[in-house]
Amino acid sequence: MKVNPIILLLLPAFLLATDAKAQSYTIKVNITGLRSSKGTLYLSLYNSAEGYPQKASAAYRLSSAPITQGQSTILLDGIPAGTYAIACYHDENGNGKLDTNFFGVPAEGTGASNNARGSLGPPKFRDARFEVRSDTTQNIKIVY
């Protein structure tokens, strides 16, 4: 069987292009400002504004981590290039949800990528968004 030499020349380029499309990255998230090591830190990674930050079922990835000495670190592996935003909260009493007061204001600590803060409500996706084009780090300070 005779193979066309042009195919042999194009094959490496095709393989590189396929590998580039499959490229994924790691987001390292450092969370600080936690007022205690009680409970669990919950994190939601969103790849669109839909559901951000309150609808965990709309998140691209969910994660949780223990808290040690007022801080926590979460590694999110296998993340494709794109635009993302993070929302997280300190479930201090361990009931598996973000507790709020009568007016819906969080009674437990919350945070967002870029340390975005909302005005009369949660932060907007556009304020918390960041680009992933390589391994990246987000530093989030929890606010109570």
At 118, list the tokens: 């909302």
Give backbone dihedrals phi and psi of 75, rounded to 5 degrees, phi first. -105, 125
Q: What is the pLDDT of residue 21?
A: 56
- The CATH class of the 23-141 domain is mainly beta
Which parts of the chain have pLDDT scores under 70? 1-21
Q: Which residue has the tokens 């030499």?
A: 5
Q: Return the domain boundaries, the chain.
A: 23-141
Q: Decide: 44 and 87 in contact? Cβ < 8 Å.
A: yes
Question: Each residue of 105-124: pLDDT tens digit?
Answer: 999 999 999 999 998 899 99
Give the helix/strand (H/E) hosting 72: strand 72-80
pTM as predicted? 0.85
At 67, list the tokens: 């808290």
Q: What is the pLDDT of residue 37?
A: 96
* Dist CA 67 CA 81 (whole Å): 28
Q: Rg (Cα) of the chain, in Å, rounded?
A: 20
